[in-house]
Amino acid sequence: MNQELNQARRLTLSERRLLRRHGRSALAILGMHTLLCVVYLRLGYFHLADRAFLILFGGIWAAFLVYLLLLNLGATLRLSEPSLSLPLITFCIGMYMVSGYYVDEFRLAVVMLFFAHLLLVSFRLRARVMTAVGIGASVSYAVMLWMAFQARGVGLSFSVEALQWLVFTMISISFAVTGGAINRLRNELADKNRALAGAVKQVRELAIRDDLTGLFNRGHLMEILERQKALADTGRTPFSVCYVDLDHFKKINDRFGHEWGDRVLKRFSDLAMSGMRDGDFFGRLGGEEFLLILPQSDVDGARLVAERLRKRWREQAFDDQGGPLSVSLSVGVASYHEGESVDELLHRADQGLYQAKSGGRDQTRVA
Ligand SMILES: Nc1nc2c(ncn2[C@@H]2O[C@H](COP(=O)(O)OP(=O)(O)OP(=O)(O)O)[C@@H](O)[C@H]2O)c(=O)[nH]1
pLDDT in tens, 87-132: 999 999 999 999 999 998 889 999 999 999 999 998 888 888 999 9
Residue 63 identity (one-letter amino acid):
A
194 pLDDT band, cuts 50/70/90, is: very high
Centre of ligand 1 to C-alpha 290, Å, is 12
Q: Whose CA is nearest to atom 30 of ligand 1?
A: 287
217 pLDDT band, cuts 50/70/90, is: very high
The 8-class DSSP code of residue 285 comes to E
Segments of the chain assigned to CATH 3.30.70.270: 218-366
Q: Whose CA is nearest to atom 27 of ligand 1?
A: 250
Q: Whose CA is nearest to atom 1 of ligand 1?
A: 261
pLDDT over threshold 50, residue 198:
yes
Centre of ligand 1 to C-alpha 259, Å, is 13
- Rounded to the nearest 5 degrees, what angle is found at the Cα of 69, between the Cα atoms of 63 and 70? 90
pLDDT of residue 1: 43
Centre of ligand 1 to C-alpha 249, Å, is 5
SS3 state of residue 318: coil
SS3 state of residue 292: strand
Centre of ligand 1 to C-alpha 330, Å, is 13
Centre of ligand 1 to C-alpha 354, Å, is 15
The 8-class DSSP code of residue 325 comes to S
**Nearest atom within ligand 1 for CA of residue 261:** 1
Share of the chain above pLDDT 90, in %: 75
**Ramachandran angles phi, psi of 242, nearest 5°:** -120, 120
pLDDT in tens, 136-167: 999 999 999 999 989 887 667 888 999 999 99
DSSP string spanning 250-271? HHHHHHH-HHHHHHHHHHHHHH
Q: Which of 175, 99, 79, 166 shows the shortest CA–CA distance to 130? A: 175
CB of 138 within 8 A of CB of 172?
A: yes
CB of 335 within 8 A of CB of 273?
A: no
Query: Architecture of domain 218-366 in CATH?
Result: 2-Layer Sandwich (3.30)
Pocket test for ligand 1, best of 249, 269, 363 (most atoms within 8 A of CB): 249
Centre of ligand 1 to C-alpha 333, Å, is 20
Share of the chain above pLDDT 70, in %: 96
Structure ipTM: 0.92
Measured CA to CA, the distance from residue 74 to residue 12 in angstroms comes to 9
pLDDT of residue 190: 87
DSSP string spanning 121-186? HHTTS-HHHHHHHHHHHHHHHHHHHHHHHHHH-TT--HHHHHHHHHHHHHHHHHHHHHHHHHHHHH
pLDDT of residue 156: 74
Measured CA to CA, the distance from residue 97 to residue 94 in angstroms comes to 5
Q: Which of 173, 251, 224, 260 shows the shortest CA–CA distance to 336? A: 224
* 1 burial level (CB within 10 Å; 0-12, 13-18, 19+): exposed
How does the average pLDDT of the chain come out, rounded? Answer: 92
Measured CA to CA, the distance from residue 57 to residue 210 in angstroms comes to 66
pLDDT of residue 16: 84
**Nearest atom within ligand 1 for CA of residue 212:** 31
More confident residue, 226 or 318: 226
Q: Whose CA is nearest to atom 21 of ligand 1?
A: 248
pLDDT of residue 4: 52
CB of 367 within 8 A of CB of 349?
A: yes
Measured CA to CA, the distance from residue 312 to residue 327 in angstroms comes to 11
pLDDT in tens, 285-344: 999 999 999 999 999 999 999 999 999 999 998 877 777 778 999 999 999 999 999 999
**Nearest atom within ligand 1 for CA of residue 247:** 25
**Nearest atom within ligand 1 for CA of residue 249:** 20
Residues enclosing ligand 1, CB less than 6 A? 212, 245-250, 253, 258, 261-262, 265, 287-288, 357, 361
Measured CA to CA, the distance from residue 83 to residue 62 in angstroms comes to 18
CA distances from 159 to 96, 146, 155 (A): 21, 13, 12
Measured CA to CA, the distance from residue 230 to residue 33 in angstroms comes to 58
Q: What share of the chain is helix, strand, coil (3-state, %, to 5)?
A: 70, 10, 20
Pocket test for ligand 1, best of 243, 253, 258, 260 (most atoms within 8 A of CB): 253
**SS3 assignment for 83-120:** CCHHHHHHHHHHHHHHHHHCECCCHHHHHCCHHHHHHH
pLDDT of residue 12: 58
CA distances from 189 to 9, 184, 194 (A): 21, 9, 9
